[in-house]
């Protein structure tokens, strides 16, 4: 079977459904109320929960469902799973209490049963999944505690549920949306590689990001990660890099993290992108979800603050982007139209005397000379207004190159930032983060064939 039963089920059983959100099984049930397919809560003590007919056992459910969610104590899981033979295509075991706390035998037993009865398993010790295109949400976190991002084009694959929730929060803050989000936990069956394989073909997904502590099958991982990287921008955040982190990762999911240096060099060898930390992952995701990946590394920086331009130029060098000199003829033209005290170099320094239209003049003149643009607009001076957004909108349609902004997040230019991001131009709170965003669009996409 493929994973469609998991991501696009028509019918769901929830074992461990509860009557209120005080219990995790109640939170999941409430989140399932939005689902458009059929939902069968199971709880022997109720005949109805949250308005849904409730079953004392899976035996009484009138059909074999696509997906079953198990939220019962770990010790009960083997028996529950055996009872699912012929009753479900796949199961999410949300319960914890397995290898992550040293209960390896119990986990091995569950793995074995899954294979025997032919049910694909996500988990155990996992957050489950969120597919806004199907209004499918199996998380045990209430909406008020984790506001879900809207529909979008970013798929998040996370071994850790905590990081999954942080990534979803950050994706929402970045004004972008989710295609699929999966917390796969201890991965006794469905693992990161299976998910990469599915997402490579998923039409709603244009960017994939993945938080990994450890990899089960290294060969399979590399194979699937490589295929995915060749189709879509794909970025990995690897945790458990040092000895302390590795020990922490082991006690977290019960899998060995392995030597990071080896992992890192293999990713590099196969052209699989890696983010250095959480913020870099989110900054890259924002740019790639807004704009189509491009290729090339020649960057032009247009700024109204000299120092900010210098910091951006430094970061370009660090990130492998070239701040190439302006061609002489173009520099001559700009010198002719701009005031004598503007700095006609790269970065172009429009100084505190800047007017909105200067950015457009520079962009139009240089559109064919560079692969991408970092625009720095410090809104502390009178010449920068909200009108800049409209002008940029008209300009970028012609330019058709990646453009990212740095505007400080000090509240002065909230509306300008919001207008730009609605136009899918990502705005970052520091020059360095803007450069990292542009780098992702320029260097993290699939290589042209």
Adjacent-strand bridge partners of 372: 299
Distance of alpha carbon 317 from alpha carbon 37, whole angstroms: 52
Contact mark string toward a second copy, 399..438, x via CB under 8 A: ---------xxxxx----------------xxxxx-----
**Does 311 sit near a second copy (CB under 8 A)?**
yes
In the complex with a second copy, which residue's Cβ is closer, 1 or 317? 317
3-state secondary structure of 256: coil
**Does 4 sit near a second copy (CB under 8 A)?**
no
The correct pick among 37, 78, 296, 306 for binding a second copy (CB under 8 A) is: 306
Min separation Cβ 376 and a second copy, Å: 8
Q: How many CB atoms lie within 10 A of CB 51?
A: 7
**Does 243 sit near a second copy (CB under 8 A)?**
yes
For tokens 């505690």, name the residue.
145
**Range 158-217, binding a second copy (CB under 8 A):** 158-163, 165-166, 169-170, 172-173, 211, 213
Which string of DSSP letters, residue by residue, matches 47-64? Answer: SEETTEE-BSSGGG-SS-
In the complex with a second copy, which residue's Cβ is closer, 212 or 288? 212
CB under 8 Å to 441, separation ≥6 — which residues?
A: 287, 288, 291, 292, 293, 294, 372, 402, 404
CB under 8 Å to 248, separation ≥6 — which residues?
A: 240
The correct pick among 69, 209, 239, 326 for binding a second copy (CB under 8 A) is: 239
The correct pick among 279, 329, 357, 368 for binding a second copy (CB under 8 A) is: 279
Window of 58-66, 220-228, 240-248, 360-368 that interacts with a second copy by CB under 8 A: 240-248
Contact mark string toward a second copy, 111..150, x via CB under 8 A: -----------------------------xxx-xxxx---
Q: Count Cβ atoms within 10 A of the Cβ of residue 448 and give its class: 0-12 exposed, 13-18 middle, 19 or more buried.
A: exposed
Q: Count Cβ atoms within 10 A of the Cβ of residue 69 and give its class: 0-12 exposed, 13-18 middle, 19 or more buried.
A: buried
Both tokens of residue 185?
Answer: 């936990």
Distance of alpha carbon 231 from alpha carbon 369, whole angstroms: 27
The correct pick among 41, 308, 370, 426 for binding a second copy (CB under 8 A) is: 308
Window of 76-84, 237-245, 330-338, 364-372 that interacts with a second copy by CB under 8 A: 237-245
Query: How many residues contact a second copy, by CB under 8 A?
Result: 84
How distant is the alpha carbon of residue 64 from its chain centre? 33
Give φ, ψ of 375 to 5 degrees: -110, 125
Q: What is the DSSP letter of 134?
A: G
Distance of alpha carbon 364 from alpha carbon 394, whole angstroms: 11
Min separation Cβ 350 and a second copy, Å: 11
Window of 129-137, 262-270, 336-344, 394-402 that interacts with a second copy by CB under 8 A: 336-344
Distance of alpha carbon 105 from alpha carbon 15, whole angstroms: 22
Min separation Cβ 326 and a second copy, Å: 11
**Range 316-335, binding a second copy (CB under 8 A):** 316-318, 322-323
Distance of alpha carbon 416 from alpha carbon 433, whole angstroms: 18
The correct pick among 242, 271, 320, 327 for binding a second copy (CB under 8 A) is: 242
In the complex with a second copy, which residue's Cβ is closer, 157 or 396? 157
**Range 42-101, binding a second copy (CB under 8 A):** 96-97, 100-101
Both tokens of residue 373?
Answer: 């643009």
Q: Where are the alpha helices (DSSP H) in 338-430?
A: 356-366, 387-399, 414-422
In the complex with a second copy, which residue's Cβ is closer, 207 or 313? 313
Min separation Cβ 162 and a second copy, Å: 3
Min separation Cβ 111 and a second copy, Å: 20
Give yes or no for a contact between 297 and 321, defined as CB atoms under 8 angstroms apart. yes
In the complex with a second copy, which residue's Cβ is closer, 86 or 341? 341
């Amino acid at each position: 079977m493929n994973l469609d039963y998991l991501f696009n089920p028509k019918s769901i059983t929830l074992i461990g459904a509860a009557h209120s959100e005080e219990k995790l099984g109640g939170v999941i049930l409430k989140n399932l109320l939005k689902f458009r397919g059929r939902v069968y809560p199971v709880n022997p003590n109720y005949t109805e929960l949250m308005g849904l007919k409730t079953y004392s056992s899976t035996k009484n459910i009138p059909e074999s469902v696509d997906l079953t969610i198990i939220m019962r104590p770990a010790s009960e899981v083997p028996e529950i799973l055996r009872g699912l033979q012929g009753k479900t295509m796949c199961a999410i075991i949300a319960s914890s209490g397995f290898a992550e706390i040293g209960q390896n035998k119990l986990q091995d037993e569950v793995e074995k049963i899954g294979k025997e009865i032919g049910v694909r398993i996500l988990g155990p010790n996992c957050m489950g999944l969120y597919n806004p295109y199907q209004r499918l949400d199996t998380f045990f976190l209430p909406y008020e505690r984790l506001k879900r991002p809207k529909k979008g084009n970013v798929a998040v694959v996370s071994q850790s549920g905590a990081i999954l929730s942080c990534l979803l929060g950050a994706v929402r803050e970045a004004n972008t949306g989710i295609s699929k989000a999966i917390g796969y936990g201890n991965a006794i069956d469905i693992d990161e590689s299976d998910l990469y394989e599915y997402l490579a073909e998923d039409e709603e997904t244009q960017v994939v990001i993945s938080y990994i502590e450890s990899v089960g099958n290294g060969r399979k991982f590399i194979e699937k990660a490589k295929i995915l990287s060749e189709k879509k921008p794909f970025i990995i955040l690897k945790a458990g890099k040092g000895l302390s982190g590795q020990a922490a990762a082991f006690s977290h999911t019960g899998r060995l993290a392995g030597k990071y240096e080896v992992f890192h060099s293999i990713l590099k060898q196969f052209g699989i992108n890696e983010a250095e930390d959480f913020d870099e992952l989110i900054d890259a995701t924002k740019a790639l979800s807004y704009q189509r990946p491009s290729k090339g590394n020649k960057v032009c920086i247009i700024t109204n603050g000299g120092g900010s331009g210098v910091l951006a130029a430094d970061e370009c060098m660090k990130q492998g982007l070239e701040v190439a000199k302006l061609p002489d003829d173009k520099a001559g033209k700009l010198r002719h139209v701009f005031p004598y005290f503007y700095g006609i170099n790269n970065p172009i320094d429009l100084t505190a005397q800047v007017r909105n239209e200067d950015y457009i003049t520079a962009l139009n003149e240089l559109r064919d000379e560079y692969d991408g643009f970092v625009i720095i607009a410090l809104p502390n001076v009178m010449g920068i207004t909200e009108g800049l957004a409209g002008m940029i909108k008209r300009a970028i349609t012609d330019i058709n190159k990646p453009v990212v902004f740095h505007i400080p997040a000090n509240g002065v230019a909230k509306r300008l930032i919001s207008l730009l991001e609605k136009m899918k131009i990502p705005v970052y709170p520091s020059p360095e983060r803007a450069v990292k965003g542009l780098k992702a669009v320029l260097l993290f996409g699939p290589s042209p064939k």
